[in-house]
Amino acid sequence: MRRRRPALNRKPRPGRLVGLAVVVAAALAVTPALSAGAAPASATPAPRAALDAVNYSPTSRTLKPTAVYRTSGSVANPTNVLNGQATRISGSQSAVTLDFGKEVGGLVTLSFGSTSSSGRRVGLAFSESSLYVGNNSDRSSGRDGEDGALYTTPSANGAYTVPTAQLRGGFRYVTVFLDSTGWVDLKGVSLDFTAAPGKSDPADYANYFTSSDELLNRIWYAGAYTVQLNTIASNQGRAWPPPSSAWDNSATVGVGDSVLVDGAKRDRTVWPGDMGIAVPTQYAYSNDLTSTRNALTTMYNAQSSAGEIPWSGPPFNLTGSDTYHTWTLLGTSTYYTYTADRAWLDSEWSNYKRGMAFITNKIDGNNLLNVTRTQDWARVGQGGENISANALLYGALRGGATLATVEGDSALAASWNSRADAIKAAANSRLWDASKGMYKDNPTSGLYPQDGNSLAVWYGLSDSTAKSKGIIAGLGNNWGIYGPTTPEWGGNVSPFAGGMELNARFTANDDYTALDQIRRTWGHMLDSDIGTKSTFWEGIQSDGGLAYGGSFMSLAHGWSTAPTSTLTFDVLGTAPESSTGAYRFVPHPGDLTSAQGRITTPQGAITASWSRDPSAGTYSATSPARPAAPAGSASRSSAATSR
């Protein structure tokens, strides 16, 4: 049944959000200042056992399938293999498909018992979605057609482990089949989980979120797990060009031991635009941003002498995107806010300034960025005085001014702030269509894009509250059963651009509809029978199916994980505001009755909670205490105020 589009700009009942903010402000007002080294007084964290119930990440590096999905041909005792006993596969193309119950990634080992004296060539194939289960792996290499299978000829009581170069970074289903005459007894299938290298217990997250809505809790953890699967060893990325058969995940795609890439199955490569969503997710769940730093360093290492930062990292090294260039600059200031990593900022400062000069030199006589390098995230219409590109540059300039201040260059900070002011004024003059209440893609365009309008609200390019509310209402006209559709992407549902809209809705205090968007878009991906039941997809067709070329599409894509950060930053209401330890505590409860969680700043962990009883009209909150700050640094708690 088709769900009705929600009423937009729906307001809470009198006193609901405002009343909560008042209580929180009062609680913060009595929080004692902590001296250096003092333990912060904060909400009692939720028990690990309760969180593990919704955490998709494994607690061990060795995993086993949980069920038999299906068999074909002659397969005797198919469930035996789940318990270390013999499942006999007989005859060419007979197969058993095993289900890990969620997205996983790594190196599979097959253990065998008895075998026939001849034949017995065994194939191994992988799939993220149940739609593509079979004796051919779904697509990942970039070569036309499916990826095929890996093959071995086992000996009695022998074993086969997938070669490291052919590790499969993202799959839920593994199909073991006989590609010859004869028979084999399959006695065990196991997986060496390779994502998030260096963590002995991958599920041991630094941060957490829980609320009165179990679906939202599962969505938070699914976003976290998606980005965790996108955190890979730097020498286990997708090779390019692809091999003539199978696949090759032995490419070096970044510096250091680990790097944040776009997808688990593919591309397994650094894409800076994807990081605009994935990095806040990585911070919100883990506070482990080493792979983010390595990804940013990788992009600066590939920077041209003219200052251009590529569209993607190695081995693709694609160029020609003014927007992705700008996403790297934005990612730099975001990373610094989360980490206060001054040593790294110092090391990249000259590269950052060259990158900023490259893009600001494209600002035209109208004080708008004139996009000439038009590659982007699959949207149409990029180029010229584009609203999404200008909103991104506006955000980058504001972040850059903060970094320049950190680096002691007040003149440069003032210059970048001045350029940001000019872009804001020009965009609101040349790109705003008052008759539509939205920004045009270009001054002459009839397209009113989801990405550009959302970014304008999210990053503050919109110059009035009325405009921001009008934009939110206009975006609501594109909603369908799975949430907002994307005009610049053929009317499909983009979780990437949709993540921008989600951030915009919370920025504009449209909390009820924001929560409805999470439930519709991300709830569909999480609970769909064609998904992984654990991770978020690269894209959704307007009918709810898989976009981006069917089996080639990534079902664990970091750019689709916006709810993890927004549930922490906005619903719980605890978010970092500067590298000095400043943070806000402004809950956006919507229809929820409670939330609890933690973030970790460079100065320490902050745990907060709130609850309310709508029937009684009462609210309570445990204010996050100020973490102990290192000597010589500044730290403060920000009072709760409505945004």
Query: Residue 312's pLDDT is what?
Result: 98
422 vs 636, which has greater pLDDT? Answer: 422
Task: Note whether 130 and 529 are within 8 A (CB).
Answer: yes
3-state DSSP assignment of residue 621: strand
Give the model's confidence band at 626: pLDDT under 50 very low, under 70 low, under 90 confident, else very high: low
Residue 314 scores a pLDDT above 60: yes
Residue 10 scores a pLDDT above 60: no
Give the model's confidence band at 14: pLDDT under 50 very low, under 70 low, under 90 confident, else very high: very low
Residue 138 scores a pLDDT above 50: yes
In angstroms, the CA 229 to CA 223 distance is 10
- What are 435's two structure tokens? 């008759």
Tell me the pLDDT of the chain averaged across its residues: 90
Query: Residue 51's pLDDT is what?
Result: 86
Task: Note whether 372 and 437 are within 8 A (CB).
Answer: no
251 vs 641, which has greater pLDDT? Answer: 251
Give the model's confidence band at 453: pLDDT under 50 very low, under 70 low, under 90 confident, else very high: very high
Helix extents (H) in 373-510: 387-406, 410-430, 450-458, 465-476, 495-507
Query: Residue 627's pLDDT is what?
Result: 58
Query: Residue 620's pLDDT is what?
Result: 79
Average pLDDT over residues 551-562: 98
* Degrees to nearest 5, angle at CA 538 with 537 and 544: 60
Site of tokens 């792979």: 291
Query: Residue 614's pLDDT is what?
Result: 84
In angstroms, the CA 80 to CA 451 distance is 50
List the helix and strand counts (H, then E) for the chain: 15, 20
* pTM higher than 0.85: yes
Query: Residue 621's pLDDT is what?
Result: 78
Task: Note whether 12 and 21 are within 8 A (CB).
Answer: no
Average pLDDT over residues 33-50: 48
29 vs 163, which has greater pLDDT? Answer: 163
Task: Note whether 542 and 516 are within 8 A (CB).
Answer: no
Query: Residue 536's pLDDT is what?
Result: 98
Chain segment 461-475, per-residue pLDDT in tens: 999 999 999 999 999
Residue 618 scores a pLDDT above 80: no
Query: Residue 128's pLDDT is what?
Result: 98
Average pLDDT over residues 137-151: 96
Max CA separation in the chain (angstroms): 80
In angstroms, the CA 450 to CA 478 distance is 9
Residue 37 scores a pLDDT above 50: no
Give the model's confidence band at 52: pLDDT under 50 very low, under 70 low, under 90 confident, else very high: confident
Give the model's confidence band at 625: pLDDT under 50 very low, under 70 low, under 90 confident, else very high: low
Strand (E) or helix (H) holding 290: helix 290-301
Task: Note whether 464 and 457 are within 8 A (CB).
Answer: no
Chain segment 577-601, per-residue pLDDT in tens: 999 989 999 999 999 999 999 999 9
Helix extents (H) in 144-247: 214-229
- 209 alpha carbon, distance to own chain's centre: 16
Residue 415 scores a pLDDT above 70: yes
Q: What is the DSSP string of 67-122?
A: EEEEEEEEEESGGGGGGTS-EEEEEEEEEEEEEEEEEEEEEEEEEEEEE-SS---E
Task: Note whether 68 and 99 are within 8 A (CB).
Answer: yes
Average pLDDT over residues 390-412: 98
In angstroms, the CA 279 to CA 331 distance is 8
3-state DSSP assignment of residue 520: helix
Residue 280 scores a pLDDT above 70: yes
* Residue partners of 159: CB distance under 8 A and separation at least 6: 109, 110, 111, 112
- What are 191's two structure tokens? 């997986």
Query: Residue 32's pLDDT is what?
Result: 25
In angstroms, the CA 42 to CA 609 distance is 9
**Where are the extended beta strands (E) located within 162-201?**
168-178, 183-193
Query: Residue 616's pLDDT is what?
Result: 76
* Degrees to nearest 5, angle at CA 561 with 46 and 237: 110
Query: Residue 43's pLDDT is what?
Result: 54
Task: Note whether 616 and 563 are within 8 A (CB).
Answer: no
Average pLDDT over residues 193-210: 96
3-state DSSP assignment of residue 539: coil
Q: What are the beta bridge partners of residue 267?
A: none
- What are 11's two structure tokens? 């307001």
Residue closest to 606 by CA, chosen among 565, 580, 574: 574
Query: Residue 44's pLDDT is what?
Result: 65
Residue 1 scores a pLDDT above 60: no
Query: Residue 596's pLDDT is what?
Result: 95
